[in-house]
A and B are shown apart, each in its own frame.
Chain A
Amino acid sequence: MKRICQRPESLTDVQMHYCPGCTHGIIHRLVAEALDELGIREDAIGIASVGCSVFAYNYFNCDMQQAAHGRAPAVATGIKRVLPDRVVFTYQGDGDLASIGVAEIVHAAARGESITVIFVNNAIYGMTSGQMAPTTLLGQKTTTTPRGRTVQDNGYPIRMSELLATLDGTAYIERVSTHDPRHVLQAGRAIKKAFAAQLHGKGFALVEVLSTCSVNWGMSPQEALDWLRDNMVPYYPLGVYKDASVKEGEAHD
């Protein structure tokens, strides 16, 4: 009998701790599939960050380092510079990457560090019980914006992909979503491209994955997916923001 679906070799056979409806598990699988398909599991060194995905070192079946909050791009830089022929990636949430770790991500991108960044944007701090994140939408209720985020108190949500795409050091930047199977497949393609960019020595690659947090958003998993589609996608438009592998004027999806 032909097997058509199985656990990627790059995922361990361990039950994940994520809440029902959380998309971290899906995104882990996409990363693992990319490592398998490119045949780089044994060359990969992953950096787990601080957030709900902190235990990623238990789930990826490759060498892993766990980094302090926001510092994953610096840790990745430290490794990649001394092991330039290995594949180094970080897996970070929006609090980690877009708040406490802004300096590290911006400078890793500006230097054109040859690393791959998986940036999971769920518009909230999941791990610490649902506080406002730098990507929390205006009007969105969180435990620290109980009446909804306002411009007056908290300013505007940050669009990291657009911001980082302005830096010359970035080679590949795409924003994708996980709200339906078609978009999940597109997310998988983007993640594979972001690893391929590193393999081809193009420079810094980042995929921003829009993600849900149904528990802290106070919704059912399906409501959360719909909310992502109807509220996050309009503010965080999907698409490729930088692709240095494509020459000026060439069409790409």
Chain B
Amino acid sequence: MAKVLMKGNEALAEAAIRAGCRAFYGYPITPQNEVPNYMARHLPERGGVYLQAESEVAAINMVYGAAGAGVRVMTSSSSPGLSLKMEGISYIAAAELPCVIVNVMRCGPGLGGIHPSQGDYFQAVKGGGHGDYRLLVLAPGSVQEMADLTFEAFDLADKWRNPVMILADGLLGQMMEPVEFGDKEPQVVEKPWATTGARGRKPNIINTLDIVPESLEKRNYALAEKYGRMGEAETRWQEYKTADADLIVTAYGTSARVARSAVDMARKEGLRVGLIRPISLWPFPQAPFALLADGLRQFLVVEMSMGQMVEDVRLAVNGRGSVHFYNRLGGMVPTPRDVLAEIRKVLGGGGGQ
């Protein structure tokens, strides 16, 4: 199939429809508006339901209902909207309902600004809502990946009966690149647990309440066990020129695109620099760090946040190498030159923290 030039947000929406998404519940917020706009235009004519909810709170609870009823369903928002969805996300994770949740991050805190940021990493991978739960979090790095990871997110959600989050940012959502959709067919999954009306069977119940500690503990352990299996099966990352590198730059999403250019510039100067780009943020790819952190290599984490993923990198490196950090905030995107300057600084001496 031919490539088409599309905005990241639109490619994501198109991929969702191709993945069998049959309901979209959302609420407008910049910089993700192209997602609901695209869905409103195309989903009904392709057999799905589009509904603009009264709030993100309502939207995520509509997702809970439709996911419980057994259909592939998605919601999309940007940072302040995600804060409102957190209650519902906790319930969806607890009820083990499959769905796809998109966050096209903008900068905060508060109303912040509408420009790209990566400030919601903690919210996405460390919880965000109440209680012990995990989302599978995927971070696209291009318009093609906005499409590919979203398509895959629906299969993963059904496979694990777990919400999957696409953690993008305003730049990935707004920029245009050629994208190819291929002719993959979405998986068809039986959902005997769904509440579709108890026709000739016992009633199905979707519930997250369990007031007996012995019983809830069992349920929590079962969730933990599932998260453990997800952690083993679903870790993804990309490595670039890491084999001989003295310095490993680490970044995801938009920051990773910038970091990759900086790595190429550094290589031209004869500096041995590589890149690890985590694609799954939860589960976090510990393996490449464990392998590469030999006590000699250094690490440089680049983020558009005050330093969030850097904590996971430090855990993965586990003291076997200095971990440095470089960031821009407030909607400012680091340039390859900025990162190159940082690379030179680190390799020119000076210890990390």
Q: Which residues of chain A have a CB within 8 Å of any CB of chain B?
A: 41-45, 47-48, 54-55, 57-58, 60-68, 71, 74-79, 81-83, 86-87, 103-104, 106-107
User: Could you say which residues of chain A place their CB within 8 Å of the CB of B87?
Assistant: 68
Task: State the CA gap A3–B198 with chains docked (Å).
Answer: 26
B88 contacts A77, CB within 8 Å? no
Please give me the 8 A-B residue pairs with the lowest Cβ-Cβ distance, nearest first.
A78-B65, A78-B62, A74-B61, A75-B65, A107-B54, A63-B195, A71-B61, A74-B58
A103 contacts B55, CB within 8 Å? yes
Within 8 Å by CB of A103, from B54, B67, B88, lies B54
Output the residue of B49, B88, B200, B207 with the most chain A CB within 10 A: B207
Q: A62-B203, A63-B205 are in contact. Are A78 and B61 (CB under 8 A)?
A: yes
With both beta carbons as reference points, the residue of chain A lying nearest to B66 in the complex is identified as: A78
Q: A65-B68, A68-B91, A104-B61 are in contact. Are A74 and B53 (CB under 8 A)?
A: yes
Cβ of B36 to closest chain A Cβ, rounded Å: 15
Task: State the CA gap A65–B62 with chains docked (Å).
Answer: 12
B51 contacts A67, CB within 8 Å? no
Give 5 A-B contacts (CB < 8 Å), ordered by A residue: A58-B205, A63-B195, A67-B64, A79-B66, A103-B58
Output the residue of A43, A58, A75 with the most chain B CB within 10 A: A75
The yes or no answer to B184 lying at the interface (CB within 8 A) is no
User: Could you say which residues of chain B place their CB within 8 Å of the CB of A62?
Assistant: 197-198, 203
Output the residue of A61, A77, A82, A86 with the most chain B CB within 10 A: A82
Cβ of A15 to closest chain B Cβ, rounded Å: 16
With both beta carbons as reference points, the residue of chain B lying nearest to A58 in the complex is identified as: B205
Task: State the CA gap A86–B199 with chains docked (Å).
Answer: 11
Cβ of A71 to closest chain B Cβ, rounded Å: 4
B61 contacts A41, CB within 8 Å? no
User: Could you say which residues of chain B place their CB within 8 Å of the CB of A67?
Assistant: 61, 64-65, 91
Task: State the CA gap A42–B195 with chains docked (Å).
Answer: 11
B58 contacts A63, CB within 8 Å? no
B91 contacts A78, CB within 8 Å? no
Q: B interface, how many residues as a size bin?
A: 35 or more
The yes or no answer to B204 lying at the interface (CB within 8 A) is yes
Proximity string of chain B (60-78) to chain A, C-beta cutoff 8 Å, 1 when within and 0 when not:
0111111111010100000
Instruction: With A57-B207, A58-B205 given, name 4 new contacts (CB 8 A).
Output: A61-B203, A74-B53, A74-B62, A78-B63
Q: Which residues of chain B have a CB within 8 Å of any CB of chain A?
A: 22-23, 25, 49, 51, 53-55, 57-59, 61-69, 71, 73, 87-88, 91, 195-200, 203-209
B51 contacts A104, CB within 8 Å? no
Within 8 Å by CB of A78, from B69, B199, B209, lies B69
A-B contacts counted at CB < 8 A amount to 129
User: Could you say which residues of chain A place their CB within 8 Å of the CB of B198?
Assistant: 41-42, 44, 61-63
Q: A41-B198, A42-B200, A45-B196 are in contact. Are A66 and B207 (CB under 8 A)?
A: yes
Task: State the CA gap A166–B58 with chains docked (Å).
Answer: 22
B65 contacts A79, CB within 8 Å? yes
Cβ of B55 to closest chain A Cβ, rounded Å: 6
Within 8 Å by CB of B65, from A44, A61, A76, lies A76
Task: State the CA gap A148–B88 with chains docked (Å).
Answer: 35
Cβ of A47 to closest chain B Cβ, rounded Å: 8
Within 8 Å by CB of B197, from A54, A63, A82, lies A63
A68 contacts B209, CB within 8 Å? no
Cβ of B353 to closest chain A Cβ, rounded Å: 41
User: Could you say which residues of chain B place their CB within 8 Å of the CB of A65?
Assistant: 64-65, 68, 195, 205-207
Within 8 Å by CB of A44, from B25, B59, B66, B197, lies B197
Task: State the CA gap A64–B53 with chains docked (Å).
Answer: 22
User: Could you say which residues of chain B place their CB within 8 Å of the CB of A61?
Assistant: 198, 203
Output the residue of B23, B88, B198 with the most chain A CB within 10 A: B198
With both beta carbons as reference points, the residue of chain A lying nearest to B58 in the complex is identified as: A74
Task: State the CA gap A65–B67 with chains docked (Å).
Answer: 11
B23 contacts A78, CB within 8 Å? yes
With both beta carbons as reference points, the residue of chain A lying nearest to B23 in the complex is identified as: A82
B204 contacts A77, CB within 8 Å? no
User: Could you say which residues of chain A place their CB within 8 Å of the CB of B69?
Assistant: 45, 78-79, 82-83
A64 contacts B65, CB within 8 Å? no
Cβ of B68 to closest chain A Cβ, rounded Å: 5
A71 contacts B88, CB within 8 Å? yes
B205 contacts A78, CB within 8 Å? no
With both beta carbons as reference points, the residue of chain B lying nearest to A48 in the complex is identified as: B207
With both beta carbons as reference points, the residue of chain A lying nearest to B195 in the complex is identified as: A63
User: Could you say which residues of chain A place their CB within 8 Å of the CB of B206?
Assistant: 64-66
